[in-house]
Chain A
Amino acid sequence: MTTPAIARQAPETGPDDPTLVTQTKAGDRIAARTLYDRHSKRVHRLVFRICGDEELACDLVQDVFVRAFGQLAAFRGEAAFTTWLHRIAVTTALNQMRKVKRIREREEVLEDADAHAAQRREADPDLRTRLHAAIDALPEGLRMTVLLHDLEGYTHAEIGTMLGVAEGTSKARLFEARGKLRESLRDFADYSEEG
């Protein structure tokens, strides 16, 4: 394996993001590496959850950071660097997903969601697996909203910015998505936390 030119930095130590951004804009590779170390794991998790493909996720991480560094001159710090970076990640991942048609394939599978769920129901009685399958089966807009809000913890305002929709739309999508999930899990209506 090629030895990286700049060694891994301790992600949570050192200058804050705005300082690192300024230094990176000036061509400081160490600052860039520190930003990368600080944010790459979260970006990797985010894009992997969007695409579900290990190899593609790694490609996307590289693409996201190359784009981010390339467009850093235009970043003026109105939003947090994290928000800006994750927006690039979501946009890049969705663009790529659409390019390789994986979303469409999933949507086609999901067009008959009930039949799909019924098959799963017999094949796999495990509730967690059923929930994951139901999330996968959601239409793109609903799945992204659930993923970003319930699993990644973004606010509706942040999701609106990332997906280019109004905050209210994000809330409505989450409501609809959760309704579909509850419907998909209707066989487990008696489920409770206590088991």
Chain B
Amino acid sequence: MMKDESLDHLMRDAKDTYRVPPTADFDAMWTAIEREHFDAPAQPVLAPRRRAWMPALGIAATLLFGFGLGRFTTPATPDVPIVTDAAAGTAAPTVTVVGDPLTRTTYEYIARTVALLDSLPNSGGAGKLKRDQRFAAQATQLLGTTRLLLDSPAATDPRLRDLLEDLELVLAQVASLRTAPRAEDLTFIAEAVNERDVVPRLRAVSASITASGY
């Protein structure tokens, strides 16, 4: 094994040699920035939308995880019955699970994640977050569970892995709100959810699961 001192020396070298950026046309970039920021018509401030899609997300995610985990974690012997009762229109699905510990943990994880994201204030609620550290604390816990699930057999399904990775980033951003949360932090979180097309992807997966007769 290489010694720490030797690696230190190599890393000092890498500071100057690793992915050295090529020459860039900074003037041209500025022109584009100036045009977009200063010359574009005023845009309404992106306000995190009240997450009306969260109930759907919860239901779809529950189906998704049930589907995925069923594929990877249930034994070859007759299946353990899994009973779900995701009440449409509620903030967090009510789920009754009879199954192995991993499945149960996953269902609880999804329900708690949905509840957390649904209750997260919009950009005007940074003060509330500062007073109430439970959001960040719960996100930190859920982040740990996310990473455990990413290392579990469930994550071998690319769709499940995609969803877990996206949730990992969102939860990491929520967890970072523990110190002096600001309005733009909440905007970042809303953007992270929107830019990944989370809702269309979940709906697509949900539809395919429904179509499969699950």
Interface set of A (CB-CB < 8 Å, partner B):
1-2, 4-6, 8, 27, 29, 32-33, 36-37, 40-41, 44-45, 48-49, 52, 54, 57-58, 61-62, 65-66, 69-71, 74-76, 78, 91, 94-95, 98-99, 104, 127-128, 131-132, 135, 146, 150-151, 153, 160-161, 163-166, 178, 181-183, 185-186, 188-189, 191-193
Contact = CB atoms under 8 A, between A and B. Distances in A.
Query: What is the interface of chain B mostly: helix, strand, loop, or mixed?
Result: helix
A45 B191 CA distance: 24
Contacts of B27: 1, 4, 8
Contact of B37 (A2, A66, A146): A66
B21 A4 contact: no
A151 B179 contact: no
B9 A189 contact: no
Contact of A181 (B7, B19, B31): B7
Given A40-B26, A181-B7, 14 more contacts: A4-B30, A6-B30, A54-B21, A62-B32, A66-B36, A74-B184, A78-B182, A98-B166, A104-B162, A128-B10, A131-B13, A132-B17, A163-B176, A178-B4
A50 to B, nearest CB: 9
Main secondary structure, interface of A, reads helix
Contacts of A54: 21-22, 24
Contacts of A61: 24, 29
A67 to B, nearest CB: 9
B50 to A, nearest CB: 19
B85 interface: no
B142 to A, nearest CB: 12
A128 B6 CA distance: 12
Given A4-B34, A41-B26, A69-B37, A164 B21 contact: no
A48 B23 CA distance: 11
Nearest to B27: A4
Interface residues of B, number: 55
